[in-house]
Amino acid sequence: MKRILSLFLGGIFLVAASLVHAAWPDRQITLVVPFPAGGGTDVVGRIIAKELAQRLRVNVVVENRPGASGNIGARQVSKASPDGYTLLICTTAQTISGALYTQAGYDVANDLEAISTINDSPLVLITRPGLQLSSVQDLIELARRSPGKLTYATPGYGSAGHMAAEALSLAADIRMLHIPYQGAAPMMADLVSGQVDIAFDLLITAKQYVNQGKVNRVGVATRERSPLMPDWQTLSEQSPARLGNFNETAWNVLMAPKGTPAAIVNAINAQMKNILADEKVQRKFMELGSIPLWKSVGSTKAFVSDDARKWRKVVSDAGIAKI
């Protein structure tokens, strides 16, 4: 009798939950971008917000909550009501933050619900004008001749460029000197003027400087050549023994507060699949130097967890000081 009653009550709750989910969405959705307006992540967020609004037939507003390498916005979403009305554009910075920050206030893999990957932007290894390297192997040999003397510039401590350079150092067994900047603009200014030796930058930005002859390219930091620049070699091609699995990109993932109902998460994932298959949207991402990337809910969750695990290992193995 108790079992029958339990099954009966469980059925009632499931029906009630289905009715609640069936009503979603019936009001405005907030999409939090944890970086300033006008930046790359903000542009991605506004593309997605517009497309979701058209398909879900409700307003989807972008709310910029910058600060602390994206931690402020991500923390806000992790503590929001898990009802499908607050979403987050998550970036590589959030998985890196989990490895670097001792008090981030959230755990990207455990306090947020993965919905769908959005896009993937390749990083490119570039050098100052006077440093001519035919391949990454030349860079490795140069670094080994003078350990700790070769300088690598980054747009900030804990940035994707910082972690990519540390991952390269570990894979190639070399030591380089980190020169962090407050943003990509001053970093590139000093690289162009020859004040620092190398840097990892987004392909779309690096391409402009390479084409203008202001910097030299070494290779794309992905396993396979990018369809954005198929004639550019990868670091993996240049040094398959040490860098065969080297794959460093800057990505975006759509997430929600932990506990957001599976029915809502799956509904948004289905919309994201349609959005990222749209040729108009694909062209917009390609113009940003980015590749549209859709994954299922389960694959997205594994993607974020694997990335967080990777950066924890890099930070630990490289002995990078936590903040």
In tens, the pLDDT along 134-144 reads: 899 999 999 99
Residue 7 has pLDDT above 60, yes or no: no
Structure tokens at 253: 């993932």
Q: Specify the pLDDT at position 179.
A: 96
DSSP helix, strand, coil percent of the chain (3-state; round to 5): 50, 20, 35
Q: Is 84 helix (H, G, I), strand (E, B) or coil?
A: coil
Residue 15 has pLDDT above 60, yes or no: no
Distances (CA, A) of 255 to 45, 87, 297: 12, 6, 10
Instruction: Name which of 300, 256, 260 is nearest 276 in CA terms.
Output: 300
Pick from 67-71, 148-152, 207-211, 291-295: least confident: 67-71
CB within 8 Å of 323: residues ≥ 6 apart = 100, 101, 102, 157, 158
Q: Is 101 helix (H, G, I), strand (E, B) or coil?
A: coil
pTM, entire model: 0.87
What pLDDT band is residue 21 in, cutting at 50, 70 and 90? Answer: low
CB within 8 Å of 228: residues ≥ 6 apart = 122, 203, 204, 286, 289, 291
Tens of pLDDT, residues 27-56? 999 999 999 898 889 999 999 999 999 999
Q: What is the mean pLDDT of the chain?
A: 91
Q: Specify the pLDDT at position 132.
A: 82
Q: State the alpha helices, DSSP H only, in 173-296.
A: 184-192, 203-211, 235-238, 240-243, 262-277, 279-287
| 71 close to 105: Cβ distance less than 8 angstroms | yes
Tens of pLDDT, residues 219-244? 999 999 999 999 999 999 999 988 98
| Domains in the chain with CATH codes | 26-121+250-318 (3.40.190.150), 122-243 (3.40.190.10)
Rounded CA-CA distance 9/176 in Å is 63
DSSP class of residue 68? G
Rounded CA-CA distance 198/110 in Å is 35
Tens of pLDDT, residues 180-212? 998 888 999 999 999 999 999 998 889 999 999
What pLDDT band is residue 22 in, cutting at 50, 70 and 90? Answer: low
